[in-house]
């Protein structure tokens, strides 16, 4: 650890120092690109299994309703994947365009994960095409089987990408020589760094919640309008059940993630609260504003809560921001605080919604009847996306000012090229147009009646 | 080991040049297909052929990037930071192209399809040009090692870059026309075979002319590259490419479009390999050899092992996809793009008897 800190002071990387005046724009551009891409990847993580489940129902029962639904969903899956392909490509470009010194210095340490992710991506692209264009062309069982690699590749792809993020937060698998060279690279150790398991499981459940609540929200609208057809019922129950099961579990996983952060990145944890000084029995403030003097103005203080969250012990000592030099503290503190609170707050609401549904179903074997439940569901879809992005803001802004935690600063990693504000504006405009087009076409797709399916029919 | 990793990157680049550029080339034909009615059949053919494969083809580009930043990180950081303008434009083009093509499949009116089609088509030209121009900047030795140390514009707006950029566009168009002609033959749509044969011949002759004329441009602008292309392994593959290119044109001329598919792909592959020979052993001419740029042995071993394992899964999957595609099992029904939007008539959905 000491070697890291010593090296960090004058660690310039293989391409040398950068004098980028627009570092903030580079960070914002990267953040924007991730904020667009991450919700799309959720559909790769969680949606294929739901589509396959519904197709499986069709194969078991022969009921064409299931087939019509699986077919419709597979079109959405393809559209999401296609947009995810291009937004993901932008990310690969941006890694080099925005952070060339990071890539040049550490590409060989963490690159292996992306190599493996590349294969997952390949498999996903191949089988999603076969699956979606293979309806009515392949024998039914073969068709179902061609969906299985999509599910697996969705899991492995996200695993490898998150492994890299875990590594950036907990860099292992290399040494820094006295002259600043990266030596003794151990790529497998970097790939399976101890920090990424909680991130991965947390993200996997988050992705499942996002898709579950978003898809359920679409059909909750139809339900509220009085559509009680089997088609809508199935389309509501499948994602809702998945979401209702994962949302409460996410609370437990979030706890695990929080304790891991307390252990590996105490400064980041201090930022979640805005804890200026190392404190025994640290409180947690909901709302309020972190002032530059280290006080939290306003807000609701819950005594001991941060110690309980971090260590499951009300009297535990929590390291404050003062443990590191001012230059090494994440910022802005309030961004991290509010992102963290948004994630936790929304996550709790979603868990309650899920438990309510599960409770009603368990006791009465039917869907909830109150209209407020369905109104809640309609809100839950977009809220789940907000919580997802808030979670990433928490961990990524909380990582600052480091791109490689306590080894390389973002200001040393950034490109020396000009035009970053312009690039940000261009990408923002393109993504706005893209988002508008996707939403508009999904609504169009939703407004069309489902395909009329007859069992065993070969349609044109 | 650096050679093996470089070979992997070249394999990926070749695959992208052969497969991805054909998808890009199809965009050019979409752009030039004419008015909605006249071009409807051509566009429908493109939509039909590209839909199942473009995503998988596109992944080769990611593959190349990943191999480069893992095995040759300093090279990757240097080119991306100096060539940021064309790379950024290519990235924007990729968003526009992929998104527009995917969305066009869902378009409901001719005007929507026309707008998305124009976006798809114009960005299809921007992407190969920018990527080609960036390669030209590398090949002509205009990218120094360092963080954005090269000239932001001259590094890709120079004679060699312009030549390779234009060549990338035209070659993509040529390969694409050959594939589309072969697909049309497979589907028995003879007027489309003829339409794309004409396009293949025109673009093939043009690509050949640009390539031959281009040698003089390279000679004047980047002498080292020219010497590499006209001696040793470079010369062998450039000559091979010329022979294959001519042979493919002859096949197209005589209407044998199915074998022409392979010939045109091989001709493009030879150009990429020839370039690799011409530039060897430099990655950045005069600046960085691939031994100097190579990552540690541990990383390259891990990468090669992973790729080898990955290929065990990937190759059968790709074979399965292309077999289904070549058999026509995944293609949507051929439908001229303007026809999709006419009012539905009673004949549109012939009822089929449900099988027992």
Residue B44 confidence (pLDDT) above 90: no
What's the mean per-residue pLDDT of chain B?
A: 85
Closest to B132 measured CA to CA, from B17, B220, B46: B17
The interface predicted TM-score (ipTM) is 0.88
Q: Which of A157-161, A393-397, B187-191 has the lowest mean pLDDT?
A: B187-191
**Tens digit of pLDDT for each residue in B83-138?**
999 999 999 998 888 888 777 776 767 777 778 888 888 888 899 999 999 999 99
Closest to B172 measured CA to CA, from B128, B202, B130: B128
What string of DSSP letters covers A218-230? HHHHHHHTT---H
Compare CB distances from B95 to A90, A125, A445 and report the shortest one's residue: A90
CA dist., res. A459 & res. A130, Å (int): 17
CA dist., res. A59 & res. A48, Å (int): 16
Residue B225 confidence (pLDDT) above 50: yes
Q: Name every residue whose Cβ is closer than 8 Å to that of residue B77 and which is 6 or more positions away in sequence.
A: A14, A15, A96, A100, A101, A102, A103, A104, A105, A107, B69, B147
**Tens digit of pLDDT for each residue in A39-69?**
999 999 999 999 999 999 999 998 999 999 9
Which of the four pLDDT bands, split at 50, 70 and 90, describes residue B298? confident
Cis peptide, bond prior to residue B80, ω within 30 of zero? no
Q: Report CA Rg, chain A.
A: 24
Q: Which of A405-419, B241-255, B325-339 has the lowest mean pLDDT?
A: B325-339
Exposure on the CB side of residue B269, measured as CA atoms within 13 A: 14
A279-280 and A182-183: which strand pairing? Answer: unpaired
| Chain B nearest-CA residue for A89 | B62
CA B153, B159, B160, B164 dihedral sign is positive
What pLDDT, on a 0 to 100 scale, did the predictor assign at position B341?
56
Q: Name every residue whose Cβ is closer than 8 Å to that of residue A110 and which is 6 or more positions away in sequence.
A: A163, A164, A167, A168, A187, A190, A191
Token output for B60: 């080769």
Between positions 40 and 99 of A, the ones with CB within 8 A of B are 75, 78-79, 81-83, 85-90, 92-97
CA dist., res. A104 & res. A96, Å (int): 9
CA dist., res. B2 & res. B75, Å (int): 13
| Nearest-CA distance B111 → chain A (Å) | 14
Every domain of chain A and the residues it spans: 2-278+319-447
CA dist., res. A441 & res. A434, Å (int): 11
Exposure on the CB side of residue A183, measured as CA atoms within 13 A: 6
CA dist., res. A40 & res. B242, Å (int): 44
Residue A169 confidence (pLDDT) above 70: yes
How much of chain B, in percent, has pLDDT values that exceed 70? 92
> How many CB atoms within 10 Å of residue B91?
26
Residue B215 confidence (pLDDT) above 80: yes
Neighboring chain B residues of A112 at a CB cutoff of 8 Å: 70, 299, 302-303, 306
Judge whether A285 and A297 are in contact, CB under 8 Å.
Answer: no
CA dist., res. B326 & res. A237, Å (int): 39
Query: Strand, helix or coil at B45?
Result: helix
Q: Name every residue whose Cβ is closer than 8 Å to that of residue B216 and which is 6 or more positions away in sequence.
A: none
- Tell me the mean pLDDT in the region B338-356: 47
What pLDDT, on a 0 to 100 scale, did the predictor assign at position A214?
95
A402-404 and A296-297: which strand pairing? Answer: unpaired
- HEC readout, A164-185: HHHHHHCCCCCEECCCCCEECC
Which of the four pLDDT bands, split at 50, 70 and 90, describes residue A459? very low
Residue A2 confidence (pLDDT) above 50: no
Q: What are phi and psi of A69, to 5 degrees?
A: -70, -45
The CA-atom distances, in angstroms, between A14 and each of A36, A247, A326, B75, B294 are: 31, 44, 26, 11, 13
What pLDDT, on a 0 to 100 scale, did the predictor assign at position A296?
85
| Nearest-CA distance A308 → chain B (Å) | 41
Q: What are phi and psi of B108, to 5 degrees?
A: -110, -20
- Tell me the mean pLDDT in the region B291-305: 87
Neighboring chain A residues of B91 at a CB cutoff of 8 Å: 89-90, 93-94, 97
Between chains, do B66 and A427 touch, taking CB under 8 Å as contact?
no
| Nearest-CA distance A458 → chain B (Å) | 8
Task: Establish, for the pair of chains A and B, how many residue pairs have beta carbons separated by less than 8 Å.
Answer: 254
Q: What are phi and psi of B346, to 5 degrees?
A: -60, -25
What's the mean per-residue pLDDT of chain A?
A: 89
Exposure on the CB side of residue B132, measured as CA atoms within 13 A: 25
* DSSP-assigned beta bridge partners for residue A189: none
What pLDDT, on a 0 to 100 scale, did the predictor assign at position A453?
63
**Tens digit of pLDDT for each residue in A82-108?**
889 889 999 999 999 999 999 989 989
A317-318 and A279-280: which strand pairing? Answer: antiparallel
Token output for B279: 């530039």
The CA-atom distances, in angstroms, between B115 and each of B99, B103, B234, B335 are: 12, 11, 43, 18
What string of DSSP letters covers A182-209? EES--HHHHHT-TTHHHHHHHHHHHHHH
What pLDDT, on a 0 to 100 scale, did the predictor assign at position A379?
95
Exposure on the CB side of residue A411, measured as CA atoms within 13 A: 9
A296-297 and A300-302: which strand pairing? Answer: unpaired
CA B4, B5, B8, B10 dihedral sign is negative
Give, as one character, the DSSP assignment of residue A403. Answer: E
Judge whether A405 and A265 are in contact, CB under 8 Å.
Answer: yes
**Tens digit of pLDDT for each residue in A175-201?**
888 887 888 889 898 898 888 899 999
Compare CB distances from A122 to B65, B99, B314 and report the shortest one's residue: B314
CB-based contact, A19 to chain B, within 8 Å: no
**Tens digit of pLDDT for each residue in A361-376?**
999 988 888 889 999 9
What pLDDT, on a 0 to 100 scale, did the predictor assign at position B279?
86
Between chains, do A90 and B91 touch, taking CB under 8 Å as contact?
yes
Judge whether A187 and A173 are in contact, CB under 8 Å.
Answer: yes
- Classify B144 in phi/psi space as left (phi over 0), alpha (psi -120 to 50) or beta: beta
CA dist., res. A233 & res. A241, Å (int): 12
CA A90, A123, A162, A5 dihedral sign is negative
- Tell me the mean pLDDT in the region A282-309: 88
Between chains, do A93 and B90 touch, taking CB under 8 Å as contact?
yes
The CA-atom distances, in angstroms, between B121 and each of B23, B25, B53, B96, B117 are: 10, 9, 17, 9, 6
């Amino acid at each position: 650890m000491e070697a890291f800190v010593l090296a960090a002071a004058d660690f310039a990387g293989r391409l040398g120092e950068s004098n980028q005046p627009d570092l903030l724009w580079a960070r914002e551009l990267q953040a924007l690109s991730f904020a667009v891409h991450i919700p799309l990847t959720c559909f790769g993580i969680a949606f294929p299994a739901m589509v396959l489940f519904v197709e499986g129902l069709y194969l078991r029962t022969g009921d064409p309703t299931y087939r019509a639904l699986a077919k419709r969903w597979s079109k959405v899956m393809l559209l999401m994947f296609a947009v995810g392909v291009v937004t993901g490509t932008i990310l690969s470009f941006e890694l080099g365009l925005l952070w060339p010194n990071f890539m040049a210095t550490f590409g060989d340490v963490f690159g292996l994960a992306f190599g493996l992710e590349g294969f997952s991506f390949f498999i996903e692209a191949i089988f999603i095409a076969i699956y979606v264009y293979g309806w009515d062309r392949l024998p039914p069982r073969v068709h179902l089987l061609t969906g299985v690699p999509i599910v697996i590749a969705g899991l492995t792809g996200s695993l490898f990408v998150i492994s890299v993020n875990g590594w950036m937060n907990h860099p292992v698998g290399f040494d820094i020589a006295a002259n600043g060279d990266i030596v003794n690279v151990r790529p497998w150790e970097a790939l399976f760094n101890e920090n990424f398991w909680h991130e991965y499981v947390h993200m996997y459940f988050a992705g499942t919640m996002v898709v579950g609540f978003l898809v359920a929200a679409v059909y909750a609208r139809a339900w509220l309008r009085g559509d009680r057809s089997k088609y809508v019922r199935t389309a509501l129950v499948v994602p809702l059940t998945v979401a209702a099961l994962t949302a409460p579990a996410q609370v437990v996983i979030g706890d695990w993630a929080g304790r891991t952060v307390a252990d590996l990145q105490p400064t980041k944890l201090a930022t979640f609260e805005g804890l200026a000084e190392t404190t025994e029995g640290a409180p947690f403030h909901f709302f309020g504003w972190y002032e530059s003097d280290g006080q939290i103005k306003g807000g609701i203080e819950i005594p001991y809560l941060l110690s309980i969250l971090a260590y499951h012990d009300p009297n535990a000592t929590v390291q404050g921001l003062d443990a590191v030099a001012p230059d090494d503290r994440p910022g802005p503190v309030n961004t991290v605080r509010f992102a963290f609170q948004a994630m936790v707050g929304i996550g709790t609401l979603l868990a309650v919604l899920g438990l309510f549904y599960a409770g009603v179903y368990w006791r009465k074997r039917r869907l909830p009847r109150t209209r407020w439940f369905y109104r809640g569901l309609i809100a839950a879809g977009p809220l789940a996306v907000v919580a997802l992005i808030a979670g990433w803001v928490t961990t990524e802004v909380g990582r600052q000012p480091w791109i490689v935690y306590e080894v390389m600063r973002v200001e040393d990693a950034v490109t020396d090229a000009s035009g970053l504000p312009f690039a940000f504006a261009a990408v923002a405009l393109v993504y706005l147009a893209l988002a508008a087009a996707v939403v508009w076409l999904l609504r169009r797709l939703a407004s069309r009646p489902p395909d009329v399916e007859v069992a065993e029919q070969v349609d044109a | 080991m650096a050679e093996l990793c470089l070979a992997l990157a070249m394999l990926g680049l070749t695959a992208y040049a052969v497969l991805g550029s054909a998808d890009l080339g199809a965009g050019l034909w979409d752009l030039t297909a004419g008015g909605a009615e006249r071009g409807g059949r051509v566009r429908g053919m493109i939509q039909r052929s590209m839909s199942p494969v473009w995503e998988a083809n596109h992944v080769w580009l990611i593959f190349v990037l990943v191999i480069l930043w893992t095995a040759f990180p300093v090279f990757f950081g240097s080119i991306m930071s100096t060539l940021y303008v064309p790379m950024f434009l290519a990235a924007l083009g990729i968003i526009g192209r992929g998104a527009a093509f995917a969305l066009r499949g869902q378009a409901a009116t001719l005007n929507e399809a026309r707008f998305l089609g124009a976006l798809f088509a114009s960005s299809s030209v921007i992407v190969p040009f920018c990527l080609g121009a960036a390669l030209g900047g590398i090949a002509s030795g205009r990218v120094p090692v360092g963080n954005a140390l090269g000239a932001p514009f001259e590094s890709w707006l120079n004679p060699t870059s312009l030549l390779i950029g234009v060549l990338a566009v035209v070659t993509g168009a040529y390969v694409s026309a050959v594939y589309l002609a072969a697909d049309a033959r497979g589907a028995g749509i003879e007027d489309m075979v003829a339409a794309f044969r004409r396009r293949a011949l025109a673009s093939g002759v043009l690509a050949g002319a640009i390539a031959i004329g281009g040698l003089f441009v390279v000679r004047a602008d980047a002498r080292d590259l020219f010497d590499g292309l006209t001696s040793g392994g470079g010369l062998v593959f450039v000559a091979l490419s010329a022979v294959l290119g001519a042979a493919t044109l002859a096949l197209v001329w005589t209407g044998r479009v199915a074998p022409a598919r392979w010939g045109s792909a091989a001709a493009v592959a030879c150009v990429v390999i020839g370039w690799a020979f011409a530039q060897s052993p430099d990655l950045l001419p005069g600046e960085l050899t691939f031994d100097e740029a190579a990552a540690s042995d541990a990383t390259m071993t891990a990468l090669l092992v992973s790729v080898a394992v990955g290929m065990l899964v990937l190759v059968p999957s790709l074979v399965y996809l292309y077999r289904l595609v070549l058999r026509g099992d995944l293609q949507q029904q051929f439908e001229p793009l303007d026809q999709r939007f006419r009012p539905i008539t009673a004949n549109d959905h012939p009822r089929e008897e449900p099988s027992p």
